Amino acid sequence: MSLPNQATPIETYRQRSASYQLELEQLRQRSDRFANLRLVLFGAALFAVIFGFANAPWWFAVAVGLLIGFVWVLIQHNTVEEQRQRTQALYQLNHYGVQRLERDWVNLPLRVPSLDIPADSYANDLDLVGRASLLHLLGHLPTALGLDTLLSWLLAPANPSTITSRQQAIAELAQNVQLREELHVAAHHVTAERADFEQFLVWTEQPAQVLNRMWVVWLARLLPIGPIAGLVAYLAGWTNVPYWLVLFILNIIVSNGLGLWANQVIMAVSARRKGFAGFGALFRAINEPQFQAALLRQAQSQLTANGVRADHQMARLSRLLSLADQRFSYFYIVLQGFSLWNIHIGWLLERWQRDVRGQARAWLTTLGEIEALAALATLQADHPNWTQAQLHTTDQVIASGLAHPLLRPDKAVANDLSIGPAGTLFLITGSNMAGKSTLMRAIGLNIVLAQTGSVVCASNLQLPVLRLATSMRINDSLEQGVSYYMAELLRLKMVLGEVEQARAAGQPALFLLDEILHGTNTRERTVAARHIIARLIGLGAIGAVSTHDLSLATAPDIAAISQPWYLTEHFERGDNGPSMTFDYQLRAGLAPSTNALKLMEIVGLVDQDVPLSVAANS
């Protein structure tokens, strides 16, 4: 499918979605025709058999021909259905692409990770999880492994070499649309969650049951000789006594007695089938390309056990399970009596277990990492104007054109800023709704993306690898008896603890405090906030604080260290009443105005006949 080079990502997604939707309709029509033809051929074959019994034997030949045609149509129908499922997955993938770029949070599927998020993390403050979150934007990952891996990366910064390796891998995958599509299509057969994966891995690491009893395996190889030879002798007329039947029954008894361990192995694997179904196609999609990035080549080398590729091993396991499923067949009793089937299958499954022991867990870890890289690569492909962060060792975060990554690209407002060096404070003042909190989260989210190895929503971002600590979204708790102010204090204590740990580890730290301590009165808030900021700055951390409390911003000790910036509003009174707009642009200095009373006038809480100056002094 060729598309114009000048097409934007959202135009590309829309064109591909329309193309796949048309293809889906064509495949549906073909599938319906094959389904009707199957019914006609089967009915005609049935009538041919009836006529054969009623009239002439040559109708049986017609029935055979019709049944052969039925089988051919059945195969073609299955092929069309497989194509339809694949096309449906590709349509879904491109439809999700449109929803991502439009930030259509209502219709974009939301997946919930299984990882526990630490209470002291910045996940809630920065909207890493939940609706309209970073993981919501990135969370179209094929399996739960990729989702959990990506979240773990977002919650902890990687070291500089890992970040650089990921950047190279992500850039390569961003150009490899086919691989990212193949991962999505292959994962349609994977329905397992983290618990299912873990059960499967536990089985691969368990000690052998059958291999440790090889005498049982050899007995299972020798005992079938008896009933088979006896049956041949009976059918050949060498004996009139059905000795084979006695030996057949004896084998049934042995298979249900000595084969108990084999049955346990078969049931253990079958019960965990959900934990590995579909992995073969995913591993194959990863192993096929010729990668250039070292991290991707390393991943391919890890998908090997005893010199055999992981996708081949999974195909082998699937074949063994197909053989094990014969226990549900009507002919299973015959297989058991003549071959002690369960013991052989248990032995083969444990040989597979032995061959991959210690490798399967690495396979799934690698799969999760590739999926996480592919999700970040999709983010890069979706936003060609975003850029990779540059790592440096100075204690400053310098950004140009930095915007909030969760806002629609055509709605996000970019700003230039610099936080640091140590001993200074990036201070943001401004009125209500001016965009202070949004800017703080934009800073935090872009730092998180940068330290994951992803592109960032900025034209340029330079930073050291640092520990991030935030206090933005505070919740009181009736259940725990914690007031809003106490919840703020506890959160700030966590921030202080993070900064102290970073200092002890010799690691830079950055704190983001939004509307610090606005749960108490102005006088005490100012004193307490000055004390906390002084401690954080004294520990060598760099950081940003937002507030609409100008008494804090003008305190001498804060003014001495701060780099003040503000966001403001534009207020007008017209024929349709008062209105207020915001441009969300940073300006140097302290906010020159407030807007609380103006907002009250806009929503009708202040009588328009009463001047705001009177209302303010009353």
Per-residue pLDDT tens for 96-132?
Answer: 999 999 999 999 988 888 888 887 789 999 999 999 9
**Which of 71, 101, 131 represents a domain boundary (last residue)?**
101
Q: Is residue 376 part of a domain?
A: no
- Residue 4: predicted pLDDT: 47
Q: Once rounded to an integer, what is the mean pLDDT over residues 75-93?
A: 92
- Residue 345: predicted pLDDT: 86
In a shared domain, residues 461 and 399: yes
CB-CB contact of 200 with 357 (8 Å): no
In a shared domain, residues 510 and 605: yes
Q: Is residue 544 part of a domain?
A: yes
In a shared domain, residues 355 and 393: no
pTM of the model: 0.85
Q: Once rounded to an integer, what is the mean pLDDT over residues 176-183?
A: 90
Instruction: Tell which wins on pLDDT, 205 or 157.
Output: 157
In a shared domain, residues 332 and 459: no
Percent of residues, the chain, with pLDDT higher than 90: 44
Q: Please tell me whether residue 311 adopts helix, strand or coil conformation.
A: helix
In a shared domain, residues 394 and 458: yes
Top-ranked range on mean pLDDT: pick from 201-215, 254-268, 483-497, 565-579 = 483-497
> Please, what's the largest Cα pairwise distance for the chain?
120
Of 14-18, 87-91, 359-363, 365-369, which range is least confident? 359-363
- Residue 585: predicted pLDDT: 92
Task: Give per-residue pLDDT as tens, 324-371.
Answer: 888 777 777 888 888 888 888 888 888 888 888 888 888 889 999 999
Task: Give per-residue pLDDT as tens, 400-428.
Answer: 999 999 999 889 999 999 999 999 999 99
- Residue 3: predicted pLDDT: 45
* Centroid of chain to Cα 547: 35
In 3D space, the residue among 246, 178, 214, 208 whose CA is nearest the CA of residue 16 turns out to be 178
- Residue 315: predicted pLDDT: 86
- Residue 531: predicted pLDDT: 92
- Residue 323: predicted pLDDT: 84
Q: Is residue 597 part of a domain?
A: yes
Instruction: Tell which wins on pLDDT, 66 or 215.
Output: 66
In a shared domain, residues 562 and 449: yes
Cis peptide before 421 (omega within 30 of 0): yes
pLDDT band at 618 (very low <50, low <70, confident <90, very high): very low
pLDDT band at 1 (very low <50, low <70, confident <90, very high): very low
Of 134-138, 553-557, 576-580, 598-602, which range is least confident? 598-602
Domain extent at residue 588 = 387-617
pLDDT band at 610 (very low <50, low <70, confident <90, very high): low
In a shared domain, residues 411 and 542: yes
Q: Is residue 470 part of a domain?
A: yes
Cα Rg of the chain, angstroms: 34
Q: Once rounded to an integer, what is the mean pLDDT over residues 559-570?
A: 88
Complete edge-to-edge strand list for the sheet that includes strand 390-391: 390-391, 460-463, 397-402, 415-419
CA distance 459 to 455: 10
**What integer best gives the mean pLDDT of the chain?**
86
Instruction: Tell which wins on pLDDT, 260 or 509.
Output: 509
Q: Once rounded to an integer, what is the mean pLDDT over residues 526-534?
A: 90
In a shared domain, residues 333 and 420: no
pLDDT band at 450 (very low <50, low <70, confident <90, very high): very high
E runs forming strands in 341-441: 387-388, 390-391, 397-402, 415-419, 425-430
Q: Once rounded to an integer, what is the mean pLDDT over residues 165-175?
A: 96
In a shared domain, residues 297 and 406: no
In a shared domain, residues 485 and 434: yes
In a shared domain, residues 212 and 88: no
pLDDT band at 227 (very low <50, low <70, confident <90, very high): confident
- Residue 433: predicted pLDDT: 78
Question: Which tokens sit at 214?
Answer: 């090889």
Q: Is residue 172 part of a domain?
A: no
Q: Is residue 136 part of a domain?
A: no
pLDDT beyond 80 at 183 = yes
Q: Once rounded to an integer, what is the mean pLDDT over residues 529-541?
A: 94
Number of domains composing the chain: 3
In 3D space, the residue among 576, 579, 493 whose CA is nearest the CA of residue 536 turns out to be 493
Q: Once rounded to an integer, what is the mean pLDDT over residues 165-183?
A: 93
Q: Is residue 525 part of a domain?
A: yes
Q: Once rounded to an integer, what is the mean pLDDT over residues 233-240?
A: 83
pLDDT band at 272 (very low <50, low <70, confident <90, very high): low
- Residue 63: predicted pLDDT: 85
**Which of 341, 360, 379 represents a domain boundary (last residue)?**
360
- Residue 510: predicted pLDDT: 97
Looking at residue 419, which CATH number applies to its domain?
3.40.50.300
Q: Is residue 495 part of a domain?
A: yes
* Residue pointed to by tokens 């006949």: 609
- Residue 275: predicted pLDDT: 59
CA distance 532 to 516: 10
pLDDT beyond 60 at 60 = yes
Question: Which tokens sit at 11?
Answer: 């135009």
CA distance 7 to 461: 27
- Residue 416: predicted pLDDT: 96
**Which of 83, 101, 119 represents a domain boundary (last residue)?**
101
In a shared domain, residues 93 and 47: yes
- Residue 546: predicted pLDDT: 92
